[in-house]
Chains A and B, each alone.
Chain A
Amino acid sequence: MLDRQNYLKVKLFLNFSRDVHGRSSHQISNDFEHLKALLLWAGSQPLSSAPAFNTSLSDFLFQKAEKGLDQAELQNILNTNQRFLLWTKAMFPDEFQNIHLSWIIKNQQSRKERR
């Protein structure tokens, strides 16, 4: 079972993106699909402890979909997740104090770019 608090934060972010950033319903729908990967990656653990996860998000995505996920799509997912993590760090500074900006930037790089 996934952590419900993670899901609620994603929903909050999507509402914020729609109301404040004026993102369209189509963009919101795409963002939600991208953030589902993050929720599945976190599983039952809170996102605030993400740096302690064994696998990185990009590695998880590669394991999840070795075929049928091109580089552009992977980068889109990582970009959306980066925006979300930056937002959560700004909105919940106490809860996400263990997540550093350098980790967020490094985490959004795909496996290919890190080599």
Chain B
Amino acid sequence: MSENQNTSNCRISRNVLIKAPGLLPMLYTPREIAEDLDVPETTLRDWLNHGAPHSRGESNHIWIDGKQFAAWVDSQRNARKKPTHPLQAGEGFCMRCNAIVTIQNGEIRPVNGHLSHLKGKCPICGGIVNRGIWNAGSAELSQG
């Protein structure tokens, strides 16, 4: 009987990412896993609350399958990788909206060599959006 209360991502240290594949195919107590992975037991219990695979025995003791836990740690590593989205021409990242937006009323100013600076407004919040451009092309210039 597996318990998954909260499936949000956890911050897993590099040390744990390295050690987790070495866990054995057996049932561990939280303390044993914490010792083997060299993390505080409270941290491990926090991971259990965030969806790490575990089960409870007849006497309500928590048991963790080493291989299942290692697979969960690996999935957390992959989940933390954000999908890359290269900015298209005329786009910038609005720090207020925390999103990629199309820059309005953009102005390009040369900074140094091939580097230029595109400055415009966010269409959502109206805040200023800045973006550095390498080899500014006609696509960006047309925005201004």
* Chain A contact residues, CB within 8 Å of chain B: 1-4, 7, 11, 33, 36, 39-40
Main SS of chain A's interface residues? helix
* Number of residue pairs spanning A and B whose beta carbons lie under 8 angstroms apart: 19
**For residue A43, which residue of chain B has the nearest CB?**
B25
User: Please, which residues of chain A bring their CB within 8 A of the CB of B139?
Assistant: none
Question: Interface size bucket, B side?
Answer: under 10
Cβ-defined contact, B26 with A1, below 8 A: yes
B22 within 8 Å of A by Cβ?
Answer: yes
- Complex Cα distance A4/B32, Å? 11
Instruction: Report the Cα distance A6→B24, complex, angstroms.
Output: 12
**Contacting pair A2 B24 (CB below 8 A):** yes
Check if B34 is an interface residue, CB within 8 A of chain A: no
A7 B22 Cβ-Cβ under 8 A: no
Residue of B nearest to A40 (CB): B24
Q: A-contacting residues of B (Cβ < 8 Å)?
A: 22, 24-27, 32
Partner of B27, one of A1, A11, A40: A1
CA distance A39 to B32 in the complex (A): 16
A33 contact set on B, CB distance < 8 A:
22
> In the complex, what residue of chain A is closest to B65 when comparing beta carbons?
A1
CB pair A2–B22 under 8 Å, yes or no, is: no
The 3 closest A-B pairs by CB, nearest first: A2-B26, A1-B26, A2-B24
Q: How far is the CB of A101 from chain B (nearest CB, A)?
A: 28
Least CB distance, B58 to chain A, in whole angstroms = 16
Find the B residue at minimum CB distance from A44: B26
Q: How far is the CA of A65 from the CA of B26 in the complex (A)?
A: 21
Q: Is the CB of A39 within 8 A of B27?
A: no
Complex CA gap A11/B29 in Å reads 13
Q: Besides the contacts A2-B26, A39-B26, what 12 more A-B pairs have beta carbons closer than 8 Å?
A: A1-B25, A1-B26, A1-B27, A2-B24, A3-B26, A4-B26, A7-B24, A7-B26, A36-B22, A36-B24, A39-B24, A40-B24
Task: State how many angstroms separate the Cβ of B16 from the closest Cβ of chain A.
Answer: 15
> Would you give the shortest CB distance from B23 to chain A, in whole angstroms?
10
